Each structure stands twice: as C-alpha cells, then as structure tokens.
Structure 1
Amino acid sequence: MLFNSFVFLLAFLPAALILHGAVARAAPGWRLPLLVALSFVFYGWWDLRFVPLLAGSILVNWLIARAFTRRAVRWLVPAAIVANLALLGLFKYLDFLFGLVGEVGGFEAPRLGLALPLGISFFTFHHIMYLADLRAGRAPPFGLVRYALYIAFFPQVLAGPLVRWSEVMHQFDARPADRPDAAERFARGLMLLALGLAKKVFLGDPLAAYVNPVFQAAARGGAVSVAEAWQAALGFTFQIYFDFSGYTDMALGIALMFGIVLPQNFDAPYRAASLRDFWRRWHMTLSRFLRDYLYIPLGGNRHGLPRQVGALFATMALGGLWHGAGLPFLAWGAVHGLGLGAGLLARRAGLALPAALGAVFTFTFVLLTWVLFRAPSLEAALYVYKAMLGFAPWGGEVKWRAIAIAAAVATIGPTAWTLVHRLPPRRSLAVATAVLFVAVLLKIGDDANLEFIYFQF
C-alpha cells in the first residue's frame, strides 16, 4: 500500500497506531513483536509472494550473525554478504547481464523476467551494514525480534532511509509512551507526514505531466523540441526531489509517531555549492553507506591521489548501478564519479569557485545528469540532450509556473524536518496541519495516485 493511498492513511495507519498505543501501555513486552507483525502486513499488502523472501533473509542473516558471535569464523560474514548481493543480483541484474552478453555476442539472450521484490535493495544494504559491523567488532548480537524490526520496520523498508543498527536498536528498548514529550513528538510526526504528502501530491506529481511525455517520445525516437527538453529536464529535477524527499518526510513522520527517530535523508540539496556538497545533502544515508562500506574499503584517501580518484569513480558508478539495472544508471553514476574526481583535483590544486557560481554550476551539472537517470535508454537520453543543445525546433511555449513554484520551495525555504522542529506547539498550527491533511486527501481522491519513483529501485 502506498503512503499516499486511502487504504494506508485511513485504515492501516490509524489501526496500527491504536494497536501500538494499546499494547505499549497494557503489555509493553509485546510492542516490538507487534511492530514486526505490522511491518509484515504492510509489506505483504504489495505482494504476498515476497513475504517469505523478506522473512527468510531476516532469519538466515540472523542465524549467520548468531553463529559468528559464537565462533568467529572469518569467512562466514563475507560469504553471507556475497550471498545477499547474489540474491539481489538474481532479481535485479541477471536479465540486464544476459542482455549485455547478448548484445556483445550478437544473439538473443534468454530473459528470466523475475519480478523485482519491493525494497530488496534497501533491506539487502541493511543486512550488509549490520554484518560488516558485526565482523569488525562494532555491532553486538541482537535477538531475532529486534533484528527483524531493524530490517523490516515498515516506514523505511521499501525506500529507506538507510538506517544503521546503532541509530535505532537502542530506541527499540525505550517506552515512548512514557516520555514527557510523547504527545509533542507524535504531533511533530503527524506534521511531517502531512508536509511529505503535500510535497508529493502538490509539487512532485504535477510535474510528471511535464516530464513523462517527453521521455516517452524520446524513447520512441520521436521529435523532441528545445522547449520540451528543457521543460522535461527541469521538471524531473524537481519531481524526483519532491517525490523522494516527500517520501522520506512521511517515513520519518510515521516512525516518530511510533516513537522511533530515523535519520534525515535530505538537506536542501539544490542549494549545494559543489558536487561534494550535493552528495552530503542528497540521499544522505545512501551517500554515507557508499562512503563507509564501499569507498573506504576501496582505499578512500589513504593510498594516494590516483587511488582516491579511482575509488570515487568506482563507488559512484556502482552507486548508479544500484539504482537500476541499466546502462543509463551506470552512466549517471560514472559521470558523478568523474565530477567528484574533478572536484577533488581542483581542491588539491587550490582552485575554488565563488559560492554563488559554484551553486549555479553544481545545479546545472545535476540537472543535466538527471536526464541520464530518467531516460529509459542511452539513445533516449541522447535525443533529449541534442534538443537541449539546440539541435531541434524550439517547439513553442515553456510551461514554467509549476516548475518555478517547485524551484522556489526547493531552494529558498527550510526543509520540512527543520520547519517541523522549529515551530512551537500552537493550536493554530494544529488547525493548519489538519487543513493541509484534508486538502491532500481531496487531491488524492481527485487525481491519479502515482507511485513513488524510488520504489522501482
């Protein structure tokens, strides 16, 4: 079920909150098992076929962690990590690899056509974070219920944020209903949910009408005008931000209503003054994962400049491929790796742009690379790039109003997290949140309900 659906907002979430509140007060020992059960109900609502996959991955990885704790066999955890990645590769990348082999060999490669389990990329990375830290001696063993909740907690199981075990495990043992600020935390969580929904349905979803027809035309090899190409590129730049940051706000808000604080994932990324700054603000938990579990193991900055540049490139290329099994995603990650490498070389040479110019340059770079991320193929991306460079008819008037509003909200004001935690508790604020929530419900009922973009990854 979608966060922005009636079944979630008007049925599952209220029922889950009532059950959680009752159990937390009457039988607190059952609170965590209840949250695990609710998480599996939420996950199984999408497709019951994949519930055994999620449950099996939790049980097997927990048993491996338990065996390693009892007897520290050094190969056990690396083997488990390889097995997790192999399972991810089976569902997500096998057909892609078959297709590449077929193209190189000039023959029709077989395709398995396996359905991609929702959230598999995210819960696989959660397994990897815990197992790697366990092997390094940073993580203790946990019981099955706590580990299951860490992996499957429903606000973040499908599209993050990527949460380290050290950020939430201690919160599972707390009794949120007994906190003196329990009501205030719940209210702030509800505000985050309302703001995230508003970002998704009022700012992100309308931009799909500016974006989808252009990339569909490019995929067919049809004509794309200059105005349409820039409109689509700008539209997607803000669509993906409001779609994904809106989802994150909802996830953080829902978790807060259940007494769990999840890490922030966005910090006004389009105000970044450099590409490195952008990746410290965009999908922050993924950037942190790539840094700690890929970039640093590849050498990081410890083995000289050439090794560091290579590690940056490899990290970002693999990060691009993590987003999707396709050459455009690989190219998107590789270009960002080249950009980060160029920025590193510039800093080593003592070169720096003024902050304002750096922000313009960074935004332009990010906007151009989003074309690769959105395009269904490299050929389609090339069609759009040619049009953006002027190798196409102008094509009429640009629909700029929705883009201008989205740009202003994305670059000028505070983030939803900052806004929610700065505002003092007031009755007028509660009324405003209720009005916004009702407006979102009316909008959901009136329009097509679009899935979140990151659900496909």
Structure 2
Amino acid sequence: MTPSDRDILWAAMLFNSFAFLLVFLPVALLLHWLVERVRPQLRLPLLLALSVAFYGYWDWRFVPLLVLSVLLNWLLAQAFIRLRLGWLIALAIIVNLAVLGVFKYAGFFAGLLPGLDLTGIDVFGSGAALPLGISFFTFHHVMYLVDLKAGRAPDFGLVKYGLYIAFFPQVLAGPLVRWSEVMHQFDQRPYARADAAERFARGLLLLVVGLIKKVFIGDPLSAYVNPVYEAAAKGTAVSLAEAWQATLAFAFQIYFDFSGYTDMALGIALMFGIVLPQNFEVPYRALSLQDFWRRWHMTLSRFLRDYLYIPLGGNRHGLPRQVWALFATMALGGLWHGAGLTFVAWGAAHGLGLCAGLLWRRTGRTIPPLVGWALTFLFVLFTWVLFRAQTFEAALRIYEGMLGLTSIGHGFKWRTILLAALVALIGPTAWAAVQRAPPSRLLAVAAAVVFVLVLFKIGDDANYEFIYFQF
C-alpha cells in the first residue's frame, strides 16, 4: 500500500475505512453511552451533532446545505401546522426538488439543449459538485411533508426532525426511512432495555457481515467489471466471455456493495438503539420482475409506489392509466439513480418489463417458477448493462459481446462470480441470519477474528467507495 493509499483510508469517512472503524465509531459509541447514562436528555442533540460531524468530514462546504435544508423544511412545516396553508407544503417540496435539480441535474438537462453545455457545473468549485446523500435526504423531506399535509404525520421538534434527516448511518445512501418507522425510537432509552447487550452485539455482528460482503465479495468483483467496461467505452470490441463475465460480475458487485452498505447501516444504527428498515430480501431469487422490485432496494420501491405511482393514478383509473403510471414511475426512478440517459433507459426498460408483467397477469395465465426465475434474472442482467455503461455506445458493445456477435474470447474469470452467486441465491439475508444466530462466545470470537481480517484487507487493497454514494 502506497502512502497516498494510506492517506485515503483516513481521509474518507467510509464505513469500510480506518477513520470510521477505528476512530469515529468507537468515539461516537462511547460518547453516546456516557450521555445516555448520565444526561439522557442530551442523547438526541449528541446524535445530531455526531451526524453533522460525520457528514461534514466528507466536505465541510456542504454542511451549510444540510443544515439549511433541515431548518428551512422544519420552519415551513411549522408554518403549515399553524396556518394550514397547503401551498406552504407545495413550496417546500418545490424548493427541495429545485435544490436537488441544481446540484444533480443542471448539467444533464442543459446538455439536452442545443448549444448550452453546463455539464461541468460545480457550484462550490470543489471538483465534486454533487453533495453526498442529497437524493436521500431530499426524499426524506418529501415523505414527511407529504404525510404532514395529509394529516398522517405529527409535529416534531427541530432536533428530532434534524436527526430524522441527518442520522449518520443512513444519510448518505439510505435506506429510505419513513418518519413513522424511526421517530418513536428516538424517545427510547436503548441501553435501559433488558436486551440492550444482545441488540448491541447483533448490531456489531451485522456490521461485520456487511463488511465481509463489501470487502471480500463486492470489491474483488470490480476487477472483473471495470476493465471490460473501460474497453467498451474506448470503442474496443468485447468478446462473448468478457461481456458475460462483466455483466454477471456487476450484477453481484452492485448487490453485495449496496446490500453490504445497508447491513452496515442497520448494524451501526442498532448499536445506537435504532432499528432501521431492511432494504434487500434475496432479490436474485425473484420469480417475476414485480417480485424483484419487492426485494431490491425495498425502501425506494415503497417510496416510488406511495409517493409517485399512486399519485399518478396507480391502479384506480383503469388499465391504460395504470400502465402509464407504472412506466413513468420507473423512468423517473431511473433518472433518480443518475443524471444520464442510460439511467433513464434502464428505468424505462424496467417500466416496460413491469407493464408486460401486468398485462400477462391480466390474461390469467401462469409461468412455471423456474422459467419465471430465469426470465427475470436474464432481464435484470441485460438491463444492468445500461445502468453500468457510461454511454449507449459502450452498452451496445457489451450487448454485441453477450449475443456472440464478436469473438468468443477466453479466460472467463468465474471463481468469485460463482461464490457471489451461491451466497446471493442460496444464503439468507444478513439480517435474518444475525437475528437467528444464538448468543455464543465462539461466534463472538469468530466475528472478532473476521473483523481483524477485514482491517488487514482494507489496509492491503484499494478502499472502494460505495456505488450508491453517487446517487
């Protein structure tokens, strides 16, 4: 490991970094324990301060954006509660989406206009104009504001609302947490529970499992993916073996990368006494595309359903309206994932696939489970190419290779892919495995040994950022 690599391990506050695992998390847990024991009324302000510090460690210039976002939305919510003027909620949502649009989509939409190129927009002059987690905390604002206007959400104080938006285990890449899932937990005293020690231990074990998925499975798969897509982006023909290697590897890389992050987030939150919603339920076992989206990024799927698909009409206004709502929801979901036409095409493809599934179910016919699984898995594989490729030209070269329109090639790297496939298709979710695990000293020792091995692995290899941080 070079000195520059070592600097990166400390400079980035990744869950899989020395800075987080060896400094921030232990200090945060110690402070949280002391405050919860001595001054429990300061627990929420401490968690909020820790969350802002965690966010600011990435780039302090974006802290004002997060703080102002919380303050402005809370003030508009307070004004609505007192005045009951619906336009205040509409104004708040428009402001949130406008801020997201400026940071994330200004260059994209400007690039669609002839003669206007703002693709290099950099609001802060930092070289990284997109604030981490802006899509996630924007959607948290939207969920609360919509529910507040509908009379489903109550009034919350500024500290509690700020913690809902900025809670550090989930602020950067989710899961998307509804206020009703977490707000009541903020009022509890987690270490006063009879099962406090067991919950803390299970949270720690979940963190270790997430690290294993990220460091030992997800990251190594990048070596199977990146060179192939880089070659395709340069116009190089991709062989059959290379195309399928890269496509299969990316399907499992993004799963273990993102679900590993989610496991870490859930585990860290549990160590602080907060239960966050699960986000994955063995998605590659899905028997239909609808089933896949009930298992993949589950909190986003529920958000799109409740806050976009249903407001667009859902299934309440006839089949044509339902098809349109389904397609539009998924296309916009694709745009949320990234400011590029390939992401829109990925979302639109899933929208068309879901519409086809809807029409098939209307016929009353069924598909054998094995056939349904194979069709779903292949569809997801082929559409991941659009998600990963930077351009349609690069995606086309991958597709040409997958369809055997180029050379057959050789040297298919299958070992890590096979391991990933077995874990993804056969194993239980990390949450289920950890919750079912009986308290055991042997298990604790094994987890400690694996944690040390993870630290050695982090020190030896490049420290990969989580894929979903770019969204």
Residue identity (%):
73
Residue 30 (1) aligns with residue 38 (2): no
Determine if the alignment matches structure 1 residue 413 to structure 2 residue 421.
no
CA distance in 2, matches of 1:344, 1:32: 45
Distance 1:397 1:429 in 2: 38
Question: Is the counterpart of residue 157 in structure 1 residue 165 in structure 2?
Answer: no
Structure 2 portions without partners, runs of 5+? 1-12, 123-128
What is aligned with 1:113? 121
Letter in 2 for 1:145: V
Q: Report the 3-state secondary structure (helix = DSSP H, G, I; strand = E; otherwise coil) of the residue aligned with 1:280.
A: helix
2:81 alignment partner, one of 69, 87, 97: 69
Matched position secondary structure for 2:275: coil
RMSD, matched Cα: 0.7
Asked if 1:52 is matched to 2:60, the reply is: no
2:317 to 290, 300, 303: 303
Q: TM-score, normalised by structure 1?
A: 0.98
CA drift of 1:27 comes to: 0.1
Indicate whether 1:378 and 2:386 are aligned.
Answer: no
Distance 2:428 2:118 in 1: 50
In the alignment, is the contact (CA less than 8 A) between 2:200 and 2:270 conserved in 1? Answer: yes
After the TM superposition, which segments of 4 or more aligned residues of structure 1 sit over 4 Å from their partners?
Answer: none
Instruction: Provide the residue aligned with 2:19 in structure 1.
Output: 7
Deviation at 1:108, TM superposition (A): 5.3
Aligned residues: 453
CA distance in 2, matches of 1:373, 1:109: 23
Counterpart secondary structure, 1:101: coil
Provide the rounded CA distance (Å) in 2 between the counterparts of 1:74 and 1:160: 28
Determine if the alignment matches structure 1 residue 199 to structure 2 residue 213: yes
Distance in 2 of aligned mates of 1:372 and 1:365? 12
Normalised by the size of structure 2, how large is the TM-score?
0.95
Question: What do the CA deviations read for 1:363-388 (whole angstroms, capped 9, x no partner)?
Answer: 11001100000000111111110111
Deviation at 1:112, TM superposition (A): 4.9
The farther-off stretch of 77-86 and 324-333 is 77-86
The yes-or-no answer on 1:220 pairing with 2:234 is yes
**Which of 256, 260, 268 does residue 246 from structure 1 map onto?**
260
Q: Counterparts of 1:269-308 in structure 2 under 5 Å?
A: 269-308=283-322
Q: Which of 222, 227, 232 lines up with 2:246 in the alignment? A: 232
- Candidates 406, 421, 425, aligned match of 2:439: 425
Return the offset for 1:109: 2.4
Alignment partner of 2:86: what SS? coil
SS at match of 1:455: helix
Q: Which amino acid aligns with 2:390?
A: P
Contact 2:224/2:245 (<8 A) preserved:
yes
What secondary structure is seen at the aligned counterpart in 2 of 1:154?
Answer: coil
Deviation track 1:310-362 (CA, whole Å, cap 9, x = no partner) reads 10000000000000000000000000000000000000111221111111111
Q: Which residue identity lines up with residue 180 of structure 2 in the other structure?
A: S
Matched, 1:265 2:279: yes
Letter in 2 for 1:219: A
Shift of 1:394: 1.1
Alignment deviations for residues 256-297 of structure 1 (CA, whole Å, 9 cap, x no partner):
000000000000000000000000000000000000000000
Whichever residue aligns with residue 367 of structure 2, its letter is: L
Tell me the residue number matched to 2:8.
none
The match for 1:456 is: 470
SS in 2 for 1:75: helix
Amino acid at match of 2:134: I
Q: Is the 8 A contact 2:106 2:118 kept in 1?
A: no
Where does residue 102 of structure 2 map in the other structure?
90
How far apart are the structure 1 equivalents of 2:119 and 2:469?
22
CA 421–50 in structure 1, closer or farther in 2 if over 3 Å, else same:
same
Counterpart residue identity of residue 350, structure 2: H
Matched, 1:403 2:403: no
| 2:451 is the counterpart of 1:437 | yes
